[in-house]
Amino acid sequence: MRNLGLGICTLVLSALASEVHAQAARGQSRVVPPAPTFTVQRSATSVRVDGVLDDEAWRSAVEIPLRWEWTPGDMTEPPVRTVCRVTFDADRLFIGCKAYDDKPEEIRAHLMDRDDTGRLVLDDHLNILIDPFNDQRRAFQFRINPHGVQADAILSTAEGFEDFSWDAVWASAGHLDPDGYSVEMGIPFRSLRFPETSEAMTWGFLFERSWPRNVRHRMQANPFDRNNSCLLCQANKVTGFRDITPGKNVEAVPAVTSRKTDTRSNFPSGPLVGGDVEGSFGADLRWSVTPNLAVNVTGNPDFSQIEADVAQLDVNTRFALFFPEKRPFFLEGADFFNTPINAVFTRTVADPDVGFKLTGKVGPRTSNVVAVFGARDALTNILFPSNQGSFSTSLAQDAYTAVGRYRRDLGAASYVGGLYTGRYGDGYSNQLAGADVFHRLSNSTSFRAQYLVSATEYPDSLATRTGQPVGSFRGGALSLQVNRNTADWFLSASYDDRSPMFRADAGFVSRVDTRSLNATAFRVIRANSGWFTQILAGVQYGQVHDHDGTLTDQSVTASVSYAGPLQSSAQPYYSHTRVRFQGTLYELDGGGLHAGFRPSANIGFSLATAFGETVDFTNNRESSQLILAPGVRFSVGRGLGIDVQHVYQRLSFAGAEVFTANLFQSKVLYHFNVRTFVRAIVQYRNVQRNLDNSTVPLNAEDRGLFGQFLFSYKVNPQTVFFLGYSENQAGTQDFDLTRANRTLFAKVGYNWRP
């Protein structure tokens, strides 16, 4: 298998080289015309954002038709007509689009929370990307459905990072009519960043319409070259923006939070003790020092999780589970801190009372990116990684976190950068520093590298208790990646090295003492119509050695990915894997399937399965597993949405059950309008173990129930009112489900802009 893996890696690297030379020799397989350029004019009148394009300002606005379908067609004529218009006044950018439809009764449009992209992408919607610096590196993204539901994001092309956690304050509205629907956007210039100049500016724009029917059609105002992975390089240019400025944008968001938590201290038999009502006042302050540079300060922030984390089964796992960041302060400018090694993960800051952040661009032609943040935390969370597993602990002491990022943009799409992170506490410190580079070798091929070195010291008592080195120790990490994406191939190869003593305590690195080699090759076949729209077939290879040269992991996976009518998809796969655990190298075979389809606008089904041989890490032996994860998402009318998911996992040894785990999750939402909704979440977990087939003493049964109810009213992302209730229950074979705690909470936040 080692020779097979090396052969696959050699094949991928050879394919990367041959594809580059082949395309260079033959040139583009076809001539792709340049994206049209348009000239915008300032309007003498403003726009009332109501979804109806009847204002006088639209009569003189530049008209931008969406003339090309890029999926499933490839630069073909769109099946429906779409026209967008752009204008502006002293304060706002206005975009209005008319989406024609011969069968308006089939338009898919539902009410949902802003940034609920899982539902929004299933609806008809318009997507606008704006690159005010026209540097083809970073764009503001605004999506809107026929009811005016908003989603916004930051797109960073070099990192391939689409960050929907970014929130802007902007106006939107939609209107359904017999010809289709229309939408309007009014985006304040203070919500954007752009150069400050007296000359007319040219901005990059991407206009896209998503038309989901039997398949999802996507149309754009610019031709799209599949052999060019730089999306913003192919954008339309809109010129004529002048005499505008975001000003010295000051924004304050005070918030008042109140909560009451009752806890059963002597669980499970003790009484549920009522807690005191706790209130707090906090505020976020944002100031645009320049049009390109912003400062964020937060004091006594409310970092409560209004949205519950998606539950994950943690049985028979070795490494820490990853949960995404959701807290607004840390999400601002998060893309600036993104690097190949996940050295910045802000959920390590668990309970901060003060924070500071500076992000933006400086220097000539704003080619220098700077990003800094710092926070003081009342809790010190530490993750201890190794080759064979990871575990974590918390210290009841303050921790101070500081992160600094610098990036110098080079040429059309390359950069070099540096990163520093530091966490400090009583007897504890972790510092990390290094450099990274991204270079676009061609339109389709890119190279990325990063090297980091860390220095760490734990309190002596903690180091002794957890088996970590006593005193200061150092480690390093290296990441090398090369990727090539064309119309016909997805190819990648990477090498990663994490020394045994490398630590990234301000990030999320759950495994070290590894030298990893990975390669991927997929062939792409597309069709405009028929029984499929896209098929990807290929192979993935990976291997991991520790720093003593011992093979710890190796895998070869072959898979086929199908997309077709009824928005259906299926990805069967088979893998052969070698896993070393506690001195034993296991040879494992298994497979699985990921599938889904959407027969109508109001219902969709999904299924994920895995089966075959695996390692029982608790008992250190080869076993058999079966995982089934069905899901359904459906809508009733325009306001009611229901998501139901279930995960079933069964582990067997010698034909007998080791454990059976069930995880049920349900989310019910009802939207009264685009601003107001109520939501209920239920998560139920049940693990039953066969103690006669286990070498380790465990509970025969563990059960857990989490419930949350939330009322939400949002005028904009920061002017909000939340009222909610949540509770946790637990049970074993010795006692039924018993409430462990319950919380009632309320929050009021207000966005103030002078």
Q: What's the pLDDT tens digit per position in 654-684?
A: 999 999 999 999 999 999 999 999 999 999 9
What is the per-residue pLDDT across 304-363, written as a single tens digit (0 to 9) for each? 445 544 444 454 455 455 555 666 666 666 778 889 998 988 777 777 888 888 988 877
**pLDDT (0 to 100) of residue 318:** 54
One-letter amino acid at 56 equals E
The predicted model gives 220-245 an average pLDDT of: 93
**pLDDT (0 to 100) of residue 1:** 56
One-letter amino acid at 151 equals A
Max CA distance (Å), the chain: 81
**pLDDT (0 to 100) of residue 560:** 97
Answer yes or no: are the C-beta atoms of 355 and 375 closer than 8 Å. Answer: yes
Q: Give me the domain span that covers residue 195.
A: 33-241
**Nearest alpha carbon to residue 6 among 518, 455, 473:** 518
Backbone angles phi, psi at 216, to 5 degrees: -90, 115
User: Would the CA dihedral through 388, 392, 393, 398 be positive or negative?
Assistant: positive
The residue that leads in pLDDT, 393 or 217, is 217
Residue 194 has pLDDT above 50, yes or no: yes
One-letter amino acid at 357 equals K
CATH code at position 180: 2.60.40.1190
Answer yes or no: are the C-beta atoms of 316 and 651 closer than 8 Å. Answer: yes
**Nearest alpha carbon to residue 238 among 63, 54, 58:** 63
The number of distinct structural domains making up the chain is 1
Reported confidence tier of residue 382, pLDDT bands at 50, 70, 90? confident
Answer yes or no: are the C-beta atoms of 182 and 98 closer than 8 Å. Answer: yes
What is the per-residue pLDDT across 123-133, written as a single tens digit (0 to 9) for each? 999 999 999 98
- Whether 703 maps to a domain, the answer reads no
Answer yes or no: are the C-beta atoms of 258 and 745 closer than 8 Å. Answer: yes
**pLDDT (0 to 100) of residue 305:** 45
**pLDDT (0 to 100) of residue 18:** 52
User: Would the CA dihedral through 26, 29, 35, 36 be positive or negative?
Assistant: positive
> What 8-state DSSP symbol labels residue 411?
T
The residue that leads in pLDDT, 356 or 518, is 518
- Whether 631 maps to a domain, the answer reads no
CA 344 to chain centre: 14
Q: Which two three-digit tokens encode residue 492?
A: 């990648």
The predicted model gives 464-469 an average pLDDT of: 92
The predicted model gives 523-536 an average pLDDT of: 92
- Whether 660 maps to a domain, the answer reads no
Answer yes or no: are the C-beta atoms of 509 and 343 closer than 8 Å. Answer: yes
**pLDDT (0 to 100) of residue 332:** 66
Helix (H) or strand (E) segment spanning residue 460? helix 460-466
Q: Which residues lie below 8 Å from residue 562, measured CB to CB, with a gap of 6+? A: 532, 534, 535, 568, 569, 570, 571
For 487-522, give the DSSP string.
SSEEEEEEEEEE-TT---TTS-----SEEEEEEEEE
Burial class (CB in 10 A: 0-12, 13-18, 19+), 25: exposed
The residue that leads in pLDDT, 485 or 193, is 485
Burial class (CB in 10 A: 0-12, 13-18, 19+), 52: middle
**pLDDT (0 to 100) of residue 753:** 82
- Whether 727 maps to a domain, the answer reads no
Please, what is the average pLDDT of the chain? 89
- Whether 513 maps to a domain, the answer reads no
> What 8-state DSSP symbol labels residue 752?
B
What is the per-residue pLDDT across 63-83, written as a single tens digit (0 to 9) for each? 999 999 999 999 999 999 999
What is the per-residue pLDDT across 235-287, written as a single tens digit (0 to 9) for each? 999 999 999 987 667 888 898 988 899 999 888 888 889 889 988 888 888 88
Nearest 5°: the CA angle 70, 76, 80 is 85
Neighbours of 703 (CB within 10 A): 20
